């Protein structure tokens, strides 16, 4: 048996591709989603190294149960892929407070729940890899993405510090920051959009929704290629701590770095 992987949000999108790539590499994968049947349906139910479990990442006790069940059955969790999440796409003031809090409940606190459940098992063995699926939107924010970016900025800040805490104990971290991937991430069944109508934003919101509709299904990034890259990096002893994936992501991140350098220099001039 190769490594044991625990993947959240494994029934579709990037999570499904990572699960498939790990299986193709000979790994054992405990693949989770809110419905275990959805995972089995996604893979045809004929994979002997695939073990489907139900997990709502916002349920901390369920996360602990899945981590305990996985280690009891397989002896270890070698790689955690914290992938489950969704996007609130739209202008900030068009979201209710409940919608914003739900974004953080899933993307940040849900991701923390799984990490908190798995970390003790990796610390005990002084071995393991946290793969946290962030986004270039965790580095760069823009109009229409403020709420989603806020949740991913928070994930980045938390995981950057947590990784330093884990490193002396033999546990590694890889933050994955993709650009736009050809998944159903922008589809209404995955993304959520603001529900409040504000006339001042009406024209801009309409233009943003048109952009999302046009981009959905036409994103430049290949999720299969990213999944394969993650599996390869997981096998390396000296993997990078960050993977900025896609020409679009690297361009946006690079432009943000350039702006920050200019603003830092300007701040120095101001004294």
Q: DSSP string spanning 2-14?
A: --EEEESSTTSHH
User: Which residues make beta-bridge pairs with 28?
Assistant: 4
Which two three-digit tokens encode residue 53?
């479990």
CB neighbour burial string for 56-72, b if at least 16 within 10 angstroms, e if fewer: bbbeeebbbebbeebbe
3-state SS string over 233-264?
A: HHCCCCCCCEEEECHHHHHHHHHHHHHHHHHH
CA–CA gap between residue 158 and residue 105 (Å, rounded)? 14
CA–CA gap between residue 136 and residue 257 (Å, rounded)? 12
CA–CA gap between residue 28 and residue 78 (Å, rounded)? 10
Phi, psi (rounded to 5 degrees) for 212:
-65, -45
CA–CA gap between residue 248 and residue 221 (Å, rounded)? 8
Torsion over CA: 205, 209, 214, 220 (sign): positive
Q: Does residue 86 carry a catalytic annotation?
A: no
Catalytic residue chosen out of the listed positions 86, 148, 201, 208: 148
CA–CA gap between residue 88 and residue 268 (Å, rounded)? 36
Which residues are part of the catalytic machinery? 148
């Amino acid at each position: 048996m190769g490594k044991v992987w625990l993947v959240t949000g494994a029934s579709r999108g990037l999570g499904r591709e990572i699960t498939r790539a790990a299986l193709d590499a000979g790994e054992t994968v405990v693949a989770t989603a809110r419905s275990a049947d959805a995972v089995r349906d996604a893979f045809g139910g004929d994979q002997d190294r695939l073990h489907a479990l139900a997990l709502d990442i916002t349920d901390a006790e369920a996360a602990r149960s899945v981590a305990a069940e996985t280690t009891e059955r397989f002896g270890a969790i070698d790689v955690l892929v914290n992938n489950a999440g969704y996007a609130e796409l739209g202008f900030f003031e068009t979201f209710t407070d409940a919608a914003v809090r739900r974004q953080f409940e899933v993307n940040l606190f849900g991701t923390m729940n799984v990490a908190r459940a798995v970390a003790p098992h990796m610390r005990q063995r002084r071995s393991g890899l946290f793969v946290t699926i962030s986004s270039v939107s965790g580095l760069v924010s823009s109009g229409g993405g403020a709420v989603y970016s806020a949740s991913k900025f928070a994930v980045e800040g938390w995981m950057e510090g947590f990784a330093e805490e884990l490193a002396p104990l033999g546990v590694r971290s890889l933050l994955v920051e993709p650009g736009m991937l050809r998944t159903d991430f922008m589809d209404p069944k995955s993304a959520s959009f603001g529900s409040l109508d504000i006339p001042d934003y009406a024209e801009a919101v309409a233009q943003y929704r048109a952009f999302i509709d046009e981009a959905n299904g036409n994103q430049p990034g290949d999720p299969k290629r990213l999944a394969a890259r993650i599996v390869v990096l997981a096998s390396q002893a000296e993997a990078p701590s960050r993977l900025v994936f896609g020409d679009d992501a690297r361009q946006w991140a690079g432009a943000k770095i350039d702006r920050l350098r200019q603003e830092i220099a300007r701040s120095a001039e101001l004294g």
